[in-house]
Structure 1
Amino acid sequence: MHRNPSQRFNVLMTVVVGAFLVAACSGGKSQPAGPGAGQGAPAVTVVSVRSEAVPMTSELPGRTAPYLIAELRPQVGGIVKQRLFTEGSEVKAGQVLYQIDPATYQAAYDSARANLARADANVQAARLKAERYAQLVGIEAVSKQANDDAAAALKQAQAEVASAKAEVDRAKIDLDFTRVSSPISGRIGRSSVTPGALVTANQAAALATVQKLDPIYVDVTQSSAELLKLRRDLADGRLKRAGSEAVPVSLVLEDGSLYGSEGKLEFSEITVDQGTGSVTLRAVFPNPKGELLPGMYVRARLAQGVNSDAILVPHAALSRDARGNATVMVVDGESKVESRVVTTVQSQGDAWVVTHGLAAGERVIVEGLQKVRPGAAVQAQEAGAAGSSAPAPVAGAPAAAK
């Protein structure tokens, strides 16, 4: 049977509408629910923070410097005959390092000794004459003027002896200076002269340099603003002194490794550098193996006090807002999320040291932060409990500056 076009269009529309109705009915029964539909609040892992005493440390840049340093310069002129050391070796205090040709100085010393012997002989003759004249003047066998002249001649002869002795001492000093010795024990560097070189007294260029490297100094700088803040915190009681003994210092080398021995803070400079606005602190470290060499760049970690009310927050819990402020998500007593701005002063182990913004006992979210927003209800599970993979913060971990 043939239908006209209008009838075929009506039949087709009836089939299409029926198909849509069937699909709608079946979809309402079997389509999976959207995210969160028919489910409870999202689960998060939290850590209950607590206040504890935390040592506050500062990591400051610095460089190593020799404990003692001596630049060797000749005090007499002449030709260098011998170099009596190996460059880069250890030398002892008093060890002869260079020998300058002593011939002219030996001759001057011998001449001075001869002059002293002649002066001693003149004193002997003058003494005998003065003693005889002193006896003869009593019986008027010689005049008083002659007696006075004999006494004066004796004193003049004695003065010449004293002058001759001084000349001998000076000549002996010059002769000794032909042997250039090390004033300190330490490691000697390269030599600037070789045998045959002409050197002069008190020349500008050093023959060599000796440095004592065990122990060794580490000079670090701290801004005067940080130093003032530290003193205020100590005065106000926000920080307590770590003790009356010398402040311990640990050292981080250029490659990031920790130096094996701990040092002590020696002193703090009393003047602020006008160019940098910083104060120099000097620490001393043992260096028996010679690992630390002068001029090395290092970072020193100094314990500058103890904060008795600090709070440790795991690194995973902290983030930054659009303004760069440190924030954490806190679960309140009604199991709702609250965003909290906190103040961090340094990192310690795997946690941040927080001084403001949190109170002991509050629960901080460490896992599941991507599923929550401020004001939302959550199911909080304590870190370390069954089913939780987030580790609890470790208290008392080694300190590292922020």
Structure 2
Amino acid sequence: MSSHSTVVAIAALACVVALAGCEPRPSDRSSDSADVVRPEVGVVTLRSQAVVMTAELPGRVVASQTAEVRPQVSGIVQQRLFEEGSEVAEGASLYQIDPAPYKAAYDSAVAALQKAEATVPSAQAKAERYQGLVKQSAVSKQDFDDAVAALAHAKAEVATAKASVETARINLDYTTIKAPIGGRTDRSSLTPGALVTAGQTGLLTTIRTLDPIFVDVIQSSTNLLNLRQAIDSGRLKVSGSHVAVKLKLENGTIYPLAGKLGFSEANVSTSTGTVTLRAVFPNPQRLLLPGMYVRAIVEEGVAPDSFLVPQRAVTRNTKGEAIAMFLDQDGKAEERVLSVIRSVGNNWLIGAGVRDGDRVIVEGTQHVRPGQTATGAEVVVDDKTGEVLGRLPPQRRAARPGAEP
């Protein structure tokens, strides 16, 4: 071989060796690959806590007392004694019916009573006198019996007259129509000069007691059964003897005063499968009016040592099971099946499938698969909206050396 050929061969061999030295090592290649597929996700660390359980139920406001005012005697209405739509106290005068005929009837009954009472002393004296004479056989036994009967008749006439006086007095009192309960009046259905009759079907006005006021809410029998079973099993603890209730008004605001649950009906509606619950609320400002539609937030109890998982982190698999993605201590993603009990705001109350300190992925789950390694960044989820407060920084994806952009 010539010297020139030898030099060329040596140069080629050197180039091959140099190129071999430029190949990346397997460890370097795997490191670059790990950097490319390691996304950053938002996580929330779960902690055991006592969760206040509430149920938001539809309801209607109902007056605590309602009285329909009707006349109890007939006559001409002389005047209306209240202002329509005003608050009246129990026993307040509402209407005045012409009392003249009833005053005359009362006076006549009093006179009849006086007349009946005047006959009693004479009959009493005669009976006592005949009682002594009959022992001496000075009068017949029949005459004595007649005297005793006359005395009894006189006393009965007095009793009848007293009853007539009382009836006349009651009718005279009824000429002033009074409020049977305290509350707010409706409009008046008549004006002075109108003729009213006892027992008429038409109302004069209606009075409703607005403080306190009732709210009738509807709950399904299924939810009520689940609630009682949770309390019996100890999963739910009730504090105190009264169940607290809050109200969400028609415009979405919260009523400032809390109420309490009064009672629940002892039967389930056969048509709707629901049970009616009644809550009692103070209403000093008369903000709540009968007929209003509201949402009652009923505090059912407290679930101790419970976990809340944001709803945005939970999905469903093909079997319909609730699943969520978690990051373990090594940053590896794992998928778990969760036992969901119920919703609490924008969270799910979990019965099984989580532990204290678990990190659940709430943002970026579309970038990771089970078994894949990811970087977890702690985020805060707004309980009211369910949205993540703030955004995660852009994902860092390192390009391979020499790769095209």
- Tell me the TM-score normalised to structure 2 length: 0.81
SS of residue matched to 2:360: strand
Q: What is the CA–CA distance in structure 2 between the aligned matches of 1:304 and 1:338, rounded to whole Å? A: 34
Displacement, 1:64?
0.8
Matched to 1:67, the amino acid is S
1:338 paired with 2:331, answer: no
2:360 matched residue in structure 1: 364
User: What's the counterpart of residue 265 of structure 2?
Assistant: 269
Q: Is the 8 A contact 1:313 1:393 kept in 2?
A: no
- 1:272-301 CA-to-partner distances (Å, cap 9, x unmatched) read 111211111111011000000011111111
Offset, 1:363: 1.2
Where does 1:201-350 land on structure 2 (aligned, <5 Å)? 201-240=198-237, 242-319=238-315, 326-342=322-338, 343=340, 345-348=342-345
Q: Which residue of structure 2 aligns with residue 391 of structure 1?
A: 380
In 1, Cα distance between equivalents of 2:106 and 2:279: 48
How many Å separate the matches in 1 of 2:35 and 2:221?
Answer: 60
Greater shift in the superposed pair: 145-154 or 360-369: 360-369
Contact 2:77 2:195 in 1 (8 A): yes
Which of 153, 156, 166 in structure 1 is aligned with 2:153?
156
Are 1:314 and 1:393, in contact at CA under 8 Å, matched by a contact in 2? Answer: no
Give 1:74's aligned residue. 71
* C-alpha distance in structure 1 between counterparts of 2:335 and 2:382, whole Å: 20
> Who is 1:198 aligned against?
195
Contact 1:251 1:258 in 2 (8 A): yes
Distance 2:37 2:136 in 1: 139
1:123-162 aligned within 5 A:
123-162=120-159
Question: Cα gap change, 1:38/1:392 in structure 2, threshold over 3 Å: closer, same or farther?
Answer: closer
Alpha carbons of 1:36 and 1:45: their partners in 2 closer, same or farther (altered >3 Å)? farther
Give the Cα–Cα distance (whole angstroms) in 1 for the partners of residues 321 and 275 of structure 2.
29
* Structure 1 residues 2-36: Cα deviation after superposition (integer angstroms, max 9, x where no partner): xxxxxxxxxxxxxxxxxxxxxxxxxxxxxxxxx98
* Pairing 1:11-50 to 2, within 5 Å after superposition: 39=36, 41-50=38-47
CA distance in 2, matches of 1:325, 1:38: 33
Q: CA deviation at 1:95?
A: 0.7
Match of 1:178 among 171, 175, 179: 175
Amino acid at match of 1:235: D
Distance apart, 1:255 and its partner CA: 0.7
Report which stretch shifted further, 223-232 or 41-50.
41-50
Name structure 2 gaps, 5 residues minimum. Answer: 1-31, 385-405
Equivalent residue number for residue 101 of structure 2: 104
Task: List aligned pairs for 1:85-96, cutoff 5 A.
Answer: 85-96=82-93
Distance 1:195 1:154 in 2: 49
The one-letter code sitting in structure 2 at the alignment partner of 1:45 is: G
Is 2:365 aligned against 1:376?
no
- Partner residue in 1 for 2:80: 83
**Secondary structure of the residue that 2:380 maps to in structure 1?**
coil
Which blocks of at least 5 consecutive residues in structure 1 are unaligned? 1-34, 384-389, 398-402
Letter in 1 for 2:380: P
Structure 1 position 118, deviation (Å): 0.9
Aligned residues, how many? 352
Separation in structure 2 between the aligned mates of residue 338 and residue 78 of structure 1, nearest angstrom: 86
The 2-side partners of 1:392 and 1:258 are apart by 23
Identity of aligned residues (%): 53
TM-superposed deviation, 1:303: 1.4
Say if 2:53 and 2:344, in contact at 8 Å, map to a contact too.
no
CA distance in 2 between counterparts of 1:37 and 1:176 reads 97
Letter paired with 2:256? G
SS in structure 2 at match of 1:39:
helix
CA distance in 1, matches of 2:155, 2:343: 78
- Three-state SS of the structure 2 residue aligned to 1:57 is strand
Shift in Å at residue 198 of structure 1? 1.7
Aligned counterparts of 2:217 and 2:353: Cα–Cα separation in 1: 32
Structure 2 distance, partners of 1:129, 1:107, is 35
User: Which residue identity lines up with residue 350 of structure 2 in the other structure?
Assistant: V
**Aligned-residue offset at 1:364:** 0.6
Q: Aligned with 1:220: secondary structure? A: strand
1:168-196: per-residue Cα shift (whole Å, max 9, x none)? 11111111111110011111111112112
Report Cα offsets for 1:134-186 as digits up to 9, x if no partner. Answer: 23334433222212211111111111110111111111111111111001111
